[in-house]
Structure 1
C-alpha cells in the first residue's frame, strides 16, 4: 500500500474513532439536557440508552424524537405565558409568599415561587434562542449521510485492548482477530461512504466521515452551550 493510501486509511480509522466517542458524548449531553428539562418543566421525556449494536439511524431517530417532544412542550408553555406577562406572575408569586406566616410555610412558598418564575424564564430562553430547532436541524442533516445502516460498533470497539501476554510465536493471541476486525471495519465504512465518481475510495470515505465528524462537533458545542446557558440563567 502506498504512503498516500496508508495516510487515507489512518484518516478513516481516526475519523471513525472520533465519530464513536462523539456519539457517546452526544448521548450523554442529550440525557443531561433531558434530565434538566424534565426537572424544570415537569415532564417525563425518556433518556437514551447507548447500545453499540444499534443502528446509527436508531440513535438519531431517538434524539430527534426527544427534541420534537421538547419543542412541543416549549410551544405550549410559551403560548400560555404570552397570555400573562412574566412580571405579573412574579408579583402574584411574591404576594402569595408574603401572605404566609410561619417559617416552614415561607420556605415552601419561596420554593414554589422560584419554580413559577424559573419555568417561564427557561421557556423564553429556549424559544428566543431556538436552540431546540437548531439541534433538530443538525440531527436532520446528519441523518442524510449514508452511514445510517451501520452500527456504532462498526466504527470502533471500545473494549478492544492489547493483551499483556504473547504466544510462543511472539504474536498476541488476538492479533489476527484485530487485523480481521480492522479490515472489516474499513470495508464497511468505505462501502457506506463510497462515491461513484471518486478515483480514490479510501480518500473519499475519509473526507466524508471527517465532514460528518465536523457537523457532530458543532452539534455537541451547541448542546453544551445550551446546557451551560440554562444552568447560568437558573443560578442567576
Structure 2
C-alpha cells in the first residue's frame, strides 16, 4: 500500500473524528443557548441530543426545529413590542408617578422595577436585528443536503467508554484507541457515502469532501458561541443595572 494511500486514510480518519466532535460541540452550545432562551423568554424548547447512535440527519432536523421554534417566538414577541413599545409602558408609569408628585429617586426605582428580571426586549432585539437564527437555519438546511446524512455518529468515530458503568471491562476501559477493524469499517462507510463519479482515489475524494463539511460547520459553532456569550453579557449587565 502506497504512502499516499496511507496519508489519505489518515486524512479521512482525522476529518471523521473532527466531524464527530464538531457535532458534539454543536449540540453542547445549542443546548446552552436553549437554556438561556427558555430561562429568559418563558419557553420550553427541548434540548437536542447527539448520542453516538444518533442519525446525522435526525440531529440536524432537531437543530433546524429548535431554530424555527426560536425564530417563531422572537417574531411573535417582536411584533408585540412593535404594537406596544416598551417605552410607552415606561412613560405611562413615570407620568403616573409625576402626577402624584413623586421625587426623581422614586421615578428611577420605578423604571428599574419595570425591567427587573425581564430581559425579553433585549434578547428579542438582539436576535431580530442580527438575523442570527435565519442564518443558522439556512446553513443547517444546506448541510442537510450532504451525502453523509444517513450515517450515524458512530460511523465517524467511536469515543472510548471509560468508567461509564460497573459493567465496563478493564480491557475496554484501558483501550487507548479504536481497533484497526473499527477504523477500516469507518473508512469504508465514509468512502461509500461520499463517493463521486470518476474519482480515481475514493478515500482522497471522501477526505476532501468531509474536510469541507467540517469547515462549513465551523461558522455555525462560532455563531452559537457569539450569540450565547452576547446574551450572557447583556443579561449580566441588565441585572447589574437593575440592582443598583
| Same fold? TM cut 0.5 | yes
- Cross-structure match for 1:235: 236
Aligned pair in 2 of structure 1 residues 73, 203: CA closer, same or farther (>3 Å)? Answer: same
TM-score (normalised: structure 2) = 0.81
Aligned pair in 2 of structure 1 residues 94, 57: CA closer, same or farther (>3 Å)? Answer: farther
| 1:115 positional shift | 3.4
Q: Are positions 1:221 and 2:222 aligned together?
A: yes
| 1:96 positional shift | 8.8
Query: Can you list the C-alpha shifts for 1:166-193, whole angstroms capped at 9, x where unaligned?
Result: xxxxxxx989x81111111100000001
Alpha-carbon contact 2:90-2:114 (below 8 Å) kept: no
| 1:233 positional shift | 2.0
- Between the aligned partners of 1:164 and 1:31, the Cα distance in structure 2 is 33
Q: Are positions 1:206 and 2:200 aligned together?
A: no
Aligned pair in 2 of structure 1 residues 38, 2: CA closer, same or farther (>3 Å)? Answer: same
Residue-pair matches, total: 221
| 1:84 positional shift | 2.4
Query: Can you list the C-alpha shifts for 1:26-77, whole angstroms capped at 9, x where unaligned?
Result: 0000000000000111000010123211210010001110000001001101
Aligned pair in 2 of structure 1 residues 39, 164: CA closer, same or farther (>3 Å)? Answer: closer
- Cross-structure match for 2:84: 84
Aligned pair in 2 of structure 1 residues 50, 92: CA closer, same or farther (>3 Å)? Answer: farther
- Between the aligned partners of 2:175 and 2:51, the Cα distance in structure 1 is 24
| 1:197 positional shift | 2.4
Q: Where does structure 1 lack aligned partners over 5 or more consecutive residues?
A: 100-106, 166-172
| 1:143 positional shift | 0.4
The alignment yields a C-alpha RMSD, in angstroms, of 2.9
After the TM superposition, list the runs of 4 or more consecutive aligned residues in structure 1 that deviate by more than 3 angstroms: 89-99, 109-112
- Between the aligned partners of 1:95 and 1:186, the Cα distance in structure 2 is 70
Q: Are positions 1:65 and 2:65 aligned together?
A: yes
TM-score (normalised: structure 1) = 0.84
Aligned pair in 2 of structure 1 residues 92, 21: CA closer, same or farther (>3 Å)? Answer: farther
- 1:54-133 maps to which residues of 2 (within 5 A)? 54-92=54-92, 113-116=115-118, 118-133=119-134
- Between the aligned partners of 1:230 and 1:70, the Cα distance in structure 2 is 14
| 1:210 positional shift | 0.2
